[in-house]
Amino acid sequence: MSNLNILGISGSLRAKSVNLAALKACGEVMPAGMSLKIAALDDLPMYNFDLQEKGWPAAVQSLRDAMAAADGVIFACPEFNWTISAPLKNAIDWLSRFPAGQQPFQNKPIALISATGGPLGGARVQYDARRVMGGLGGMVLGKPEVFIGMAQNKFVDGKLTDEPTRKFMTDQMVAFQDWIVRMQRAFA
């Protein structure tokens, strides 16, 4: 099997983000045949049609190109007020404006993870992310789901140390690899 090139996007801009740390952990546990690159959202301006009319901002174009080139995308979704964080929603809004054929969610295999300080681990944000990304044509993996609650107890110096969490994250990455292969066959 050829190597699957996976793009990771975290919806948190915080340097010590537990979602970014969780994304990095996906890169550690993913099976042979997958490799992870992480794209940052820091340079994206707030969506504004006036800006779009002047031409895609460089950071938007480069995020679109990275997503279009990826075999699959992992979104690490912080839960802000029961839903998608502003940086991630802003990125989705920019990417959604590309015309058909260039809009990078279309037919893209996607896995969702989330980490929160509270006990639910982002259950609510993931259902919103699933709805929004599905609406854009993204092929969001169903199960296994990865919700990391009480995240402050599961990472030490940015490293995921909680073994049960590493185990269910590993299971998700194995399922994601299979999902990507199946989606690539379906859309070949």
Ligand X SMILES: Cc1cc2nc3c(=O)[nH]c(=O)nc-3n(C[C@H](O)[C@H](O)[C@H](O)COP(=O)(O)O)c2cc1C
CA distance 188 to 185: 5
CA atoms within 13 A on the CB side of 99: 0
Q: At which residue do the structure tokens 């800006």 appear?
A: 51
Least distance to ligand X from the beta carbon of 20, Å? 6
Least distance to ligand X from the beta carbon of 181, Å? 30
Q: 100 exposed, middle or buried (CB, 10 Å; 0-12, 13-18, 19+)?
A: exposed
Q: Closer CB to ligand X, residue 122 or residue 180?
A: 122
Cβ(55)–Cβ(87) below 8 Å: no
Least distance to ligand X from the beta carbon of 94, Å? 20
Which residues sit at the interface with ligand X, rule CB under 6 A?
12, 14, 17-19, 78-82, 116-118, 120
Q: Please give the DSSP secondary-structure letter assigned to residue 146.
A: E
Q: At which residue do the structure tokens 């969702």 appear?
A: 112
Least distance to ligand X from the beta carbon of 86, Å? 9
Least distance to ligand X from the beta carbon of 37, Å? 19
Q: Closer CB to ligand X, residue 68 or residue 120?
A: 120
Q: Closer CB to ligand X, residue 33 or residue 118?
A: 118
CA distance 21 to 1: 28
| Closest C-alpha to 70, from 178, 150, 184 | 184
Q: Closer CB to ligand X, residue 2 or residue 81?
A: 81
Amino acid, res. 91:
A
How many residues make up the chain in this entry? 188
Q: Closer CB to ligand X, residue 71 or residue 79?
A: 79
